[in-house]
Each structure stands twice: as C-alpha cells, then as structure tokens.
Amino acid sequence: MFFMQTLIRECLKGVPPEVVSAARDEHIDPHRMARAIARGRIVIPANPGRAHRICAIGEGCGIRVNVNVGTSVNRCDIDLEIRKARAALDNGADTLMDLSTGGDLREVRRRVLELDAPVGTVPVYEAVRRAGSAGDVDSDLLFRVIREHCEDGVDFLTLHCGVNLDAVDALKTDPRIMGVVSRGGAFHVAMMVERGEENPLYAEYDYLLEMLAEYDVVISLGDGMRPGCLHDAGRLAKSTEYLTLAGLAKRALPAGVQRMVEGPGHIPLDQVGYNVRMIKEMTDSAPLYLLGPLVTDIAPGYDHVTAAIGGAVACMHGADFLCMVTPSEHLALPSPEDIMEGTRVARIAAHIGDLVRKDQSRTWGRELQMAEARQRLDWDEQFRLALYGDHARRIHERDGDMETCSMCGDLCAIKIVQEIFDKKGGRE
C-alpha cells in the first residue's frame, strides 16, 4: 500500500523543519514536539499547498484562539469579512475559520486564504448551499467539496463525523430542549433523516482519512451534538457522540492524519473540568478545541464573557484551543467591533489558562512586572505590559493626566501606604 507523506509520518522518522520552528516558538524540545505530533497530542495545521505563519496546538503549547468570520445570506460583504479577519489577527487570533454561507463561497475562501494564518472551514455548509437543502446533499457532493477545500489550501476542516444514526437515536430517546444547535450537526441530522442513510463522513471515514492524508489537512472532529443550553448538558446525545468521536480520533493516527476534537457548547461551570478531562482521556489527549463553553444562558450580549469564564476553566483542565465568542452570539452576525472585542476577551481567557498550565518561569514574569509597576504608579510601564495597553491608557486618561487615578484620587491606597513607609521607614 502507498502511504502519503504527512507531518505525522515525517515525525515518526525525525523532526521536520516546521516542527523545529513551532517548537522554537513554544520553547519545547523539537524532538518532544515531534513525538507528541506522532502520538496525536499536538497538531500543526499547515496545508503544504499554502505558505503562512504556523502554530502548534496541543500538549505543552500555549493556548490558541480561533476567530470565526464569514458571510451569511442576510449580510454578504466579502470586504467586511476580510476587515473582520484582519481585526481578529491584529488583536491576537492565532487561526481563522471561514464559516461563510452567503454569496460566492469560493471567492470568500480565496480571500481569507490570502491572509497570513492557518485557516479552517466547515465544508458541509458549502455542500448544502450547492445542493439547495441538506436533504439533497449526497456523499459524492460532500466529498467533492471537501476535496476542493483541501485543494484550495485550507489547513483544518471541521467534519461532523460523529453525528451518526446512533446520535440521532440518542436525540429521540433522550430529547433535549434545544435539540441540535450546531449548524453542521443539524445539516447532518437532516441528511440522515431525509435520506434514510448513515452520515457519509461516518460510514466512509476511511475514505475521508485517505483524502485528508493526501493533502495533509487536519481533521477537527466537530461536536454536532453539543448542548445548546445548560439544561441539555447531561442528555445522552452529547455522550453518544463523544464515544463515537473517541474511536474516530484514534483511527486518524494510523492513517497519518492529524486530529483535533471539538468540545461542548453550553455546560454548567462545575461540569467543565469533568467534560474536558473525559474527552482528553477518551481520545488519548487529542488537542481539544472548545466552542465556549458558555456557562450561563441568560447573558445574551455578553456571551463573550460567559464563554471566556468557561474557556479559562476549561484551559485549566486541559483544553488547548478556544473559539472566540462575540457579544453578538445568539443575536446577529458580528460586526468588526464585536470581532475585536470577542478576540480580546478570548485572548485574555487563553492567557489565564496559560498562567496555570505553561512553564511558570515563562508566564509569570509579566504578571510580576505589572504588580511592581502598579505599586510604583508607573502608568507607562503598566500600559506597556498590558495585553491591550492602548485601551487601558484611554480609560486612565479620560479624567486627565494624574499621578494616581480618578478612582480614589488623593486617597490612593498605594500612595498613602508608600508615603507612610517613606516617612517612617518600612518597606523599600
């Protein structure tokens, strides 16, 4: 049998150049990173057909942030989506996903792929657009679209292989309030129910893996059964899908395909750690890509915050990759400002996660410097150290230029104590 050369297979034999470069960025021994890639614990989404900045995702790496952009039928402005993508990259996004469903989908993808970042897509969206409805998508069309995305240079594909007939049964026997909230998941459920057939991505998974190996594209095993509200978190469909995804994740490695697994949507905070650890254990520590998790359902307009709270806790327990949520989640297609705000908040959640899982000698120095700058009331240094210093400076300076800040003014606690110590002798 002829085996396509893929990053996993190269890592079984040595340390490819892209691994040397990614390992340098992560301060990880390149041989260790190569072993982790071969074992499926780190992925580097980098389609050999397209050159761009690369990043590693998974065990021992910094937590990554993905930002979704893309047209809808109601708002289809490619230039606007590119502006959003640039805003995301300028504000700390590591990867982009093009989730377009409106207009010339190939043209949007071509424009997004011009940007200097790893790019992911969800090919079933385009298959449904071309067929007219989910029920009219057959396996030929779906695989043809997947191949086109690989040929175009997409680096990772969300493929809902675990949304199979067992998952549909689980939905029926243990119904959920929100049913299915994943768009890709809903398309596959509609395809199976309308056509009376198994999901082709599940039924023909070996063929799918052969195709992905041919282009060395990362599979992101989509969580089409993610709960859409806290009350659905404990229902059967999610667990059924995870059991399936665990088996599929394992099958990717001998096929030479790098894999990630996507994680739950809406779950209570006290279930976040358990879910993350369970998925990690079941998949032999595949990189885990989380959509949220959103830890309350009653804060529309602030779902970027609820997702960041869930995301930070998830990262503490082992999640590797956060999908940014914007303030317009559940409400509208995000604006460029929403993308900027969501990216920043997700980046902060990722940093909080890094603080408790990366080598502390690399992550805590800046925290210490910030504390010292605050103690000295050294505002310029605080803004230099801040993740988003310009924003912090604007807030500080809106009440004028002052030694302390307008919160306490001349009653500044830091200043009072420092002056007392200076006068009476105390700490330096």
**Sites of contact with ligand SF4 (CB under 6 A):** 404-405, 407-408, 412-414
Residue partners of 287: CB distance under 8 A and separation at least 6: 41, 42, 43, 57, 58, 59, 259, 260, 261, 320, 321
- Cβ atoms 225, 163 nearer than 8 A: yes
- Please state, in angstroms and rounded to a whole number, the distance separating the CA atoms of residues 107 and 338: 24
Residue partners of 60: CB distance under 8 A and separation at least 6: 26, 28, 32, 33, 36, 42
Tell me how far, at minimum, the Cβ of 414 lies from ligand SF4, in Å. 5
The smaller minimum CB distance to ligand SF4, of residues 229 and 370, is found at: 370
The smaller minimum CB distance to ligand SF4, of residues 177 and 407, is found at: 407
Tell me how far, at minimum, the Cβ of 48 lies from ligand SF4, in Å. 52
| N-terminal to C-terminal alpha carbon distance within the chain | 72
Q: How many residues does the chain have?
A: 428
The smaller minimum CB distance to ligand SF4, of residues 239 and 404, is found at: 404
* CA distances, 413 to each of 37, 179, 367, 405, 426 (Å): 50, 53, 20, 11, 16
The smaller minimum CB distance to ligand SF4, of residues 21 and 404, is found at: 404
Residue partners of 425: CB distance under 8 A and separation at least 6: none
The smaller minimum CB distance to ligand SF4, of residues 177 and 408, is found at: 408
The smaller minimum CB distance to ligand SF4, of residues 229 and 412, is found at: 412
- Cβ atoms 246, 213 nearer than 8 A: no
- Please state, in angstroms and rounded to a whole number, the distance separating the CA atoms of residues 74 and 327: 19
Tell me how far, at minimum, the Cβ of 377 lies from ligand SF4, in Å. 6
The smaller minimum CB distance to ligand SF4, of residues 392 and 414, is found at: 414
Q: Which residues pair with 156 in a beta bridge?
A: 120, 218
Residue partners of 234: CB distance under 8 A and separation at least 6: 271
Tell me how far, at minimum, the Cβ of 382 lies from ligand SF4, in Å. 9
Tell me how far, at minimum, the Cβ of 418 lies from ligand SF4, in Å. 10
Tell me how far, at minimum, the Cβ of 365 lies from ligand SF4, in Å. 22
> Maximum distance among all alpha carbons in the chain?
83
Tell me how far, at minimum, the Cβ of 408 lies from ligand SF4, in Å. 3
